[in-house]
Structure 1
């Protein structure tokens, strides 16, 4: 690479791509986000056509969507955390305290009443699902912001327009976050407004608080806000395309598929099968993709770590390890607590005392609860700055 003054002067300034930038590349991004959403929507229509929906999730679909995606994606967090000795040493307190606090809180809640435990876990899960979509949009915005700043600093009027650039970025952040929050919270509000008629639950019957009277009274206003937020977001993207010559297609796909699947799974349909499919596919598949890319980046950086050694086998080893852990967890759940899937795990006549369940249920829920809590801190800017593999995994 030439380092002569002439070569430096002739270098073309970085520009924001017309349809980007992407996290992993156009084909992969669209496959992960648009592809998973399209698959979920097609499954909904197929279930309707086959007479599966409206209705409960059939056993084969439970195996694919609940065990194969929902439970498995929880364990993918291990490749970012406990399967990396250096990471654990770097944040020893975090990885020790979070599960201990989660378990202690779980036992305390279950001791107060099983429904209290499931209720708190359900609302934490809803918040986690919403925040993940906000996080994807933030990653796309950060990718575009970095290129826009670089392009701006190379321009002739860098000082003159710096404040304008900051204001535009702040406006984009506001519009993005409001749109995602409204796109997810409106269906949740609709769910609460129609709680008595809803034929599906997050975890167990009664885990959502019955505030149907209050929720129903504000639902018309929320519907208007939902429409307005989506319209403002769309107009903002058209403005960016016209004024700046680019639109973040990846970010638009995340926002659009979030709005579509949350509306379809909660508002437009009313069955356990359709809610499960739209809920877990769009949430779990992109997250597992992120952790796989992180694991591969980390393997190149530190091949001696346990997670890196597992990933020598590639995608098959990654998916296989997650499925194995998910299967073992669900086996224990079913044999000791639920007894719903004798076709897969065999019949069980175990009946545990309530005091045993008080310690066992929070323990079996610990991977999930820990995943919810850790995911809120793992992808922060500070962690990303400190972690080269993480920067590589999100295209920074």
Structure 2
């Protein structure tokens, strides 16, 4: 059967499907303390958090504000989304800093889960109707939800999403056992269905099954199997950020009518890729520098110039500042719920 690649086997394989497995190889090669502790070397933090996690957020700009056609077609959305996100952020932060970070963490988790579902929809677009087709959707969701349930039903972990305590946690062994049983059962049901489908039709959707396997691996190993900040961040960030940037650069799945992505403006042409990567990295560095200079004060050696900024400690000022600094993230989460939707 023809495989439903987004751009090509090489492009999808390297940039969308391989990252979880490559991250797993790196994690397995880490010294044991980095797989089961909160230790995070500075260089790893720069590579994973600044250059991938924060940078990928700004990839959305190239599908929205930097694209003249999309900017015109989605004019109302592109104005309303950041204003609504900022207003909601200030309102939440006025109730307490943890309230804000907890709401943002759950919004981020929802965004991460929906990205995997979105890729599943793309890679399932040529599947013929067959019994049990719903199992793929159920598994892609539960491949992410089960590790989160395990996290919520466990005592304190050596990692967090944004800040300590941003997830509600309750040590409930019975809940973990029930969630695990459903997890194993769903994997078994999906595997049985795929084996049956191969036996009946000799069809095997390679990218869809690699996507599911990578999702299972990255979320389970990063959250359940290991209890380390570096292991979690490696698997979480690499598996999410790199495929997202690859999708932005590809412009969406190819078709007979549109075999190549349509790029406009500065990121078109000979140096387009350099402009694209350079822009998202520059924006990420500036954002993290502002966070470090104004709020966190944790990486002064990296963001030396930003240390000249005044450190803000007043709750009244933080109520307005923190949602503003987090606005690229929150807007990215909201806009991504709209910009990738297709009628077919």
Q: Same fold (TM over 0.5)?
A: yes
Aligned-partner SS, 1:188? helix
CA spacing shift, 1:108–1:259, aligned 2, 3 Å: same
The answer to whether residue 84 in structure 2 is matched with residue 101 in structure 1 is yes
- Out of 31, 41, 46, the position equivalent to 1:63 is 46
The answer to whether residue 159 in structure 2 is matched with residue 204 in structure 1 is no
CA spacing shift, 1:302–1:237, aligned 2, 3 Å: closer
Whose helix proportion is higher, 1 or 2?
Answer: 1
In the TM superposition, residue 53 of structure 1 has moved relative to its aligned partner by: 3.8
Q: Deviations over 1:29-73 (max 9, x none)?
A: 221234211221122122226x54433211000111111110011
Residue correspondence of structure 1 range 147-166 to structure 2 within 5 A? 148=128, 165=129
1:25 counterpart residue number: 8
- Out of 72, 97, 106, the position equivalent to 1:114 is 97
Max Rg structure: 1
Residue correspondence of structure 1 range 90-239 to structure 2 within 5 A? 90-142=73-125, 144-145=126-127, 148=128, 165=129, 168=130, 171-172=132-133, 174-196=134-156, 198-213=157-172, 216-239=173-196
Give the Cα–Cα distance (whole angstroms) in 2 for the partners of residues 337 and 205 of structure 1: 16
Unaligned segments of structure 1, at least 5 residues? 1-15, 149-164, 386-396
Aligned-partner SS, 1:200? coil
Aligned-partner SS, 2:110? helix
Q: Deviations over 1:228-273 (max 9, x none)?
A: 1111111222222221221111110110110111110011111111
The answer to whether residue 331 in structure 2 is matched with residue 370 in structure 1 is yes
CA RMSD of aligned residues (A): 2.1
2:246 counterpart residue number: 289
CA spacing shift, 1:295–1:228, aligned 2, 3 Å: closer
Give the aligned length.
336
Give the Cα–Cα distance (whole angstroms) in 1 for the partners of residues 34 and 53 of structure 2: 20
Aligned-partner SS, 2:167? coil
Aligned-partner SS, 1:326? helix
Give the Cα–Cα distance (whole angstroms) in 1 for the partners of residues 198 and 15 of structure 2: 24
Q: Deviations over 1:317-339 (max 9, x none)?
A: 21111101100111101100111
Give the Cα–Cα distance (whole angstroms) in 2 for the partners of residues 272 and 320 of structure 1: 27
Unaligned segments of structure 2, at least 5 residues? none
Aligned-partner SS, 2:311? coil
In the TM superposition, residue 350 of structure 1 has moved relative to its aligned partner by: 2.7
